[in-house]
């Protein structure tokens, strides 16, 4: 082969053209020449590291060297024009803090310009915003959070946590993360131990483009709830935070995004992903069964079988609630959050209601004794008021998360609607009549009307994005089987009740189980632009 190639004739030499006497350089020529001298951020960082092996003095330029003064706190500052989305910050945070394989305290996502500026995009690195009015701390029922009075850093106290995950629902930025291995929630603490020694946090030190630094920012001296007693909080203008991120007025995050103007129309790149949220099955069972128990007990008074069934449903729901806790043996400390946490108030309210089903169910089997009639009257008359108060605290738990899909009108209609449907079924069991059957059918249908109004939005293909539209498309898409089952079984329960009301009870329970599953899985959960997969809740 080599001898054959040697015998082949050489190609004709190209004729040289005379160079022009005056070379004309264009903008393209200049850009190509400049490109030959450019280095990637990693290459520049490597060169700098080679020249200066001890980078400690350099890293100290990225953090304040003195504690915040009065009316100040530490905060992250992110230079958008420097962030390349390399995720070095994520890796460093994970390594330094010894996180689980599926655990991350810092995320990198993307926002784009939306319909008005479709060609605009930007990578976003986010961690805990160490808010002025932290929702996680206010919602925790056991005081497992604290905000350092000197630095403003919001810390999670791992040894106090019961793993209820309510802080995850309360945080509009999806910052706290549940550790299934430990049964508790954990979060970013700005590497406060390193800051105390004059060292930069892991994410700050690892970023090759110095896109993250720690700064001191001015904060309000008063909590949001006390900042104005005469003016509604909703009328106070929200500070500019980051277009495409959740509403900053909820918790007042302190992170500063600088270096590049973000269009007001910018949205998270994963906003329209139809990924169902976590079902939270213990909460599904707890809410559905306790509300069914309250309703059936109130409507079925006088019917021993209905009373016993109601007590059984209620305590089955209370038992299911324990399964949602990663550290249930610490739940006795719930009273620590009574001042700020609706979860603490729910635990107290249901604890006050719990003796009532026992007393009402046991009285018919007890012999006469002094004050039996008085106890009977007191127990039966307290079922509805105390039961409704307990259900109200459940409504407020989800309304207080500021998720539009769980706003008060929707959540109250669902929760009190469950009480009403089982209450009318209890009435049908205790006092069968055409009227009680009519009340039962009307209650079941009335409860489904708001749900039907939401899913109708999915039919409008040209509708502007909204949280309700997102919920509707989830229910008509990935969750359509549960949606069909919910309505089909509900109407079947009405038909069966005409023949045998007791046979309608399990059908109604299954229908409400589907409804509560949809309540959790089809909610639009606000979060910072991050990963495109489902959120990792337990």
Calculate the CA dihedral of residues 516, 522, 527, 532 and round it to 10 degrees.
130
Q: Mean pLDDT highest for which of 16-20, 256-260, 433-437, 461-465?
A: 433-437
Residue linked to tokens 């337990």: 538
Is residue 310 a contact partner of residue 297, using CB atoms and an 8 Å limit?
A: yes
- CA atoms of 74 and 150, how far apart (whole Å): 9
Q: Both tokens of residue 421?
A: 């449907």
Residue linked to tokens 């850009």: 31
User: Would the pLDDT of 12 be above 90?
Assistant: no
Over residues 122-130, mean pLDDT: 94
Summarize pLDDT for 328-350 with one digit per residue, the tens.
999 999 999 999 999 999 999 99
- CA atoms of 165 and 54, how far apart (whole Å): 42
In 189-337, DSSP assigns E strands to 212-218, 256-258, 267-268
- CA atoms of 347 and 140, how far apart (whole Å): 13
**At 238, is the pLDDT very low, low, confident or very high (cuts 50, 70, 90)?**
very low
User: Would the pLDDT of 96 be above 80?
Assistant: yes
User: Would the pLDDT of 52 be above 90?
Assistant: no
Summarize pLDDT for 396-412 with one digit per residue, the tens.
999 999 999 999 999 99
Sequence-distant (≥ 6) Cβ neighbours of residue 346 within 8 angstroms: 390, 393, 394, 396, 397
Predicted pLDDT of residue 223:
54
Is residue 242 a contact partner of residue 444, using CB atoms and an 8 Å limit?
A: no
Is residue 240 a contact partner of residue 231, using CB atoms and an 8 Å limit?
A: no
Predicted pLDDT of residue 244:
86
User: Would the pLDDT of 93 be above 70?
Assistant: yes
Q: What is the mean pLDDT of the chain?
A: 87
User: Would the pLDDT of 228 be above 80?
Assistant: no
Is residue 250 a contact partner of residue 128, using CB atoms and an 8 Å limit?
A: no
User: Would the pLDDT of 507 be above 90?
Assistant: yes
User: Would the pLDDT of 233 be above 50?
Assistant: no
User: Would the pLDDT of 240 be above 70?
Assistant: no
Q: Mean pLDDT highest for which of 160-164, 208-212, 219-223?
A: 160-164
Q: Which residues of 321-360 are buried (b: 16+ CB within 10 A; e: fewer)?
A: beebbbbeebbeebeebeebbbbbbbbbbbeebbebbebb
Supply the pTM of this predicted model: 0.85
User: Would the pLDDT of 6 be above 50?
Assistant: no
**Which range, of 2-6, 63-67, 457-461, averages the lowest pLDDT?**
2-6
User: Could you tell me which of 239, 237, 244, 238 has the C-alpha nearest to residue 262?
Assistant: 244
Over residues 248-271, mean pLDDT: 91
- CA atoms of 518 and 455, how far apart (whole Å): 11
Q: Which residues of 90-111 are buried (b: 16+ CB within 10 A; e: fewer)?
A: bebbbeebebeeebbbbbbbbb
Predicted pLDDT of residue 44:
65
Predicted pLDDT of residue 41:
62
Q: Where would I find the H helices in 323-371? A: 342-353, 355-362
State what percent of residues in the chain have pLDDT above 70: 86
Over residues 111-128, mean pLDDT: 88
What secondary structure letter does DSSP report for 110?
E
Summarize pLDDT for 439-448 with one digit per residue, the tens.
999 999 999 9
Predicted pLDDT of residue 43:
66
Over residues 275-299, mean pLDDT: 96
| Domains contained in the chain, CATH given | 47-268 (3.30.70.20), 281-521 (1.20.1630)
**At 39, is the pLDDT very low, low, confident or very high (cuts 50, 70, 90)?**
low
Q: Is 178 helix (H, G, I), strand (E, B) or coil?
A: strand
CA atoms within 13 A on the CB side of 170: 24
- CA atoms of 63 and 210, how far apart (whole Å): 11
Per-position DSSP letters for 64-83, written without gaps between them: -SS---TTEEEEEEEETTT-
């Amino acid at each position: 082969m080599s001898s054959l190639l040697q015998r082949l004739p050489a190609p004709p030499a190209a004729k040289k053209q005379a160079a022009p006497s005056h070379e004309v350089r264009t903008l393209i020529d200049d850009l190509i020449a400049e490109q030959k001298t450019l280095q990637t951020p990693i290459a520049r960082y490597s060169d700098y590291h080679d020249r200066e092996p001890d980078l400690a003095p350099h890293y100290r330029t990225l953090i304040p060297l003195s504690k915040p003064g009065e009316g100040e706190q530490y905060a992250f500052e992110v230079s958008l024009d420097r962030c390349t989305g390399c995720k070095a910050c994520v890796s460093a945070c994970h390594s330094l803090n010894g996180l689980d394989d599926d655990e991350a305290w810092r995320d990198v996502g993307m926002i784009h310009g939306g319909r008005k500026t479709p060609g605009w995009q930007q990578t976003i690195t986010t961690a805990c915003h160490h808010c002025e009015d932290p929702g996680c701390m206010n919602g925790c029922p056991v005081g497992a959070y604290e905000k350092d009075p000197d630095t403003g850093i919001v810390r999670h106290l791992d040894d106090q946590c019961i793993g209820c995950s309510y802080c995850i629902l309360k945080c509009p930025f999806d910052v706290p993360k549940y550790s299934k291995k430990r049964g508790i929630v954990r979060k970013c603490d700005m590497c406060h131990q390193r800051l105390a020694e004059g060292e930069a946090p892991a994410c700050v030190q690892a970023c090759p483009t110095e896109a993250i630094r720690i700064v001191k920012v001015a904060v309000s001296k008063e909590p949001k709830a006390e900042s104005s007693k005469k003016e509604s909080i909703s009328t106070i203008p929200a500070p500019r935070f980051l277009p495409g991120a959740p509403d900053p007025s909820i918790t007042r995050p302190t992170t500063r995004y600088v270096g590049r103007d973000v269009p007001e129309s910018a949205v998270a790149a994963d906003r329209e992903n139809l990924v169902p949220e976590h079902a939270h099955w213990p909460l599904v069972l707890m809410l559905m069964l306790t509300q069914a128990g309250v309703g059936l007990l109130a409507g079925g008074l006088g019917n021993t079988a209905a009373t016993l069934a109601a007590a059984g449903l209620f305590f089955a729901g209370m038992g299911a609630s324990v399964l949602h806790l990663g550290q249930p043996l610490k739940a006795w400390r719930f009273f620590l959050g009574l001042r700020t946490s609706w979860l603490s108030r729910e635990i107290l309210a249901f604890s006050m209601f719990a003796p009532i089903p026992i007393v009402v169910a046991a009285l018919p089997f007890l012999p006469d004794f002094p004050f039996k009639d008085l106890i009977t009257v007191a127990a039966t008359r307290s079922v509805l008021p105390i039961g409704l108060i307990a259900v109200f605290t459940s409504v407020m738990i989800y309304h207080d998360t500021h998720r539009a899909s769980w706003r008060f009108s929707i959540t109250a209609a669902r929760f009190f609607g469950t009480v009403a449907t089982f209450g009318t079924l209890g009435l049908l069991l205790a006092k069968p009549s055409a009227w009680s059957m009519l009340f039962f059918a009307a209650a079941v249908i009335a409860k489904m009307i708001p749900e039907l109004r939401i899913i109708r939005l999915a039919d409008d293909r040209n509708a502007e994005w909204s949280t309700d539209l997102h919920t509707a498309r989830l229910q008509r898409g990935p969750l359509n089987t549960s949606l069909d089952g919910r309505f089909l079984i509900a109407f079947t329960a009405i038909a069966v009740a005409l023949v045998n009301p007791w046979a309608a009870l399990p059908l109604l329970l299954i229908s409400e189980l589907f409804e509560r599953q949809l309540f959790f899985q089809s909610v639009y959960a606000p979060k910072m632009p991050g990963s495109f997969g489902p959120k990792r809740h337990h």
